[in-house]
């Protein structure tokens, strides 16, 4: 967890460097690539690994569930982890979105847009086409709001487990796709040579 917040602080500091550069009238041009963009890219893997661990842990617990109560306990893993990192995630996403409008170079703008989506789509279920889908965290929140109605119906527990599992898988896939997009945009700025991702082993 400490590594996550350290990486988030590093990322926010990198965003701050871009803002300061813009204040001096140098709005993130191609010459700023190594100085401004590479540190942002390098700070992302620990954050992505943290989110993948959240999804993976919750998915394992959901799949091991044998009763409705097991489903509830497993769901709490995802809900609690989501809440723990929510404030930081929202701040990072907001900073990345803001930088999209500050920089002038179109490739860097696309890169910043992709970075912002890392902290959005896996949690809100935004597909590549822009269609909003129910994400894992949204489904869990909805499940808890209806928990008292579901509890007396024994046959519902397995349906709930399958729905949550499918939602977690979809969220994880969104995260993987968005990271791949960040790598793609970063590679384009490196002259079209695909850079090696330090994660997604």
Domain ranges for the chain: 2-189
Q: What is the pLDDT of residues 149-183, one digit of tens each?
A: 555 455 566 777 777 788 788 888 888 888 999 99
Question: What is the secondary structure of 49-66 as a DSSP string?
Answer: HHHHHHHHHHHHHHHT--
Q: What average pLDDT does range 112-132 have in this prediction?
A: 64
Q: What is the pLDDT of residues 129-149, one digit of tens each?
A: 444 444 555 555 555 555 555
Model's pTM, two decimal places?
0.74
Closest to 168 in 3D by CA, of 145, 139, 141, 192: 139
Q: Which residues contact 134 (CB under 8 A, 6 or more apart)?
A: 125, 142, 167
């Amino acid at each position: 967890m400490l590594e996550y917040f350290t990486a988030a602080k590093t990322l926010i500091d990198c965003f701050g460097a871009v803002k300061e550069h813009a204040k001096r009238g140098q709005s993130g041009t191609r010459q700023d690539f190594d100085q401004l963009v590479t540190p942002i890219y390098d700070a992302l893997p620990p954050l992505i690994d943290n989110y993948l661990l959240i999804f993976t842990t919750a998915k394992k617990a959901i799949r091991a569930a044998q009763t409705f109560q097991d489903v509830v306990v497993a769901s709490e893993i995802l809900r609690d982890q989501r809440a723990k990192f929510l404030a930081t995630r929202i701040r990072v996403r907001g900073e990345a979105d803001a930088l999209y409008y500050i920089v002038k170079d179109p490739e860097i703008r696309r890169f910043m847009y992709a970075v912002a989506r890392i902290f959005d789509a896996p949690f809100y279920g935004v597909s590549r086409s822009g269609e909003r889908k129910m994400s894992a965290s949204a489904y869990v929140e909805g499940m808890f709001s209806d928990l008292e109605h579901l509890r007396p119906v024994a046959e519902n527990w397995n349906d709930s487990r399958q729905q949550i599992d499918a939602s977690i898988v979809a969220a994880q896939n969104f995260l993987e796709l968005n990271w791949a997009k960040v790598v793609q945009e970063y590679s384009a700025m490196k002259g079209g040579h695909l850079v090696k991702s330090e994660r997604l082993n």
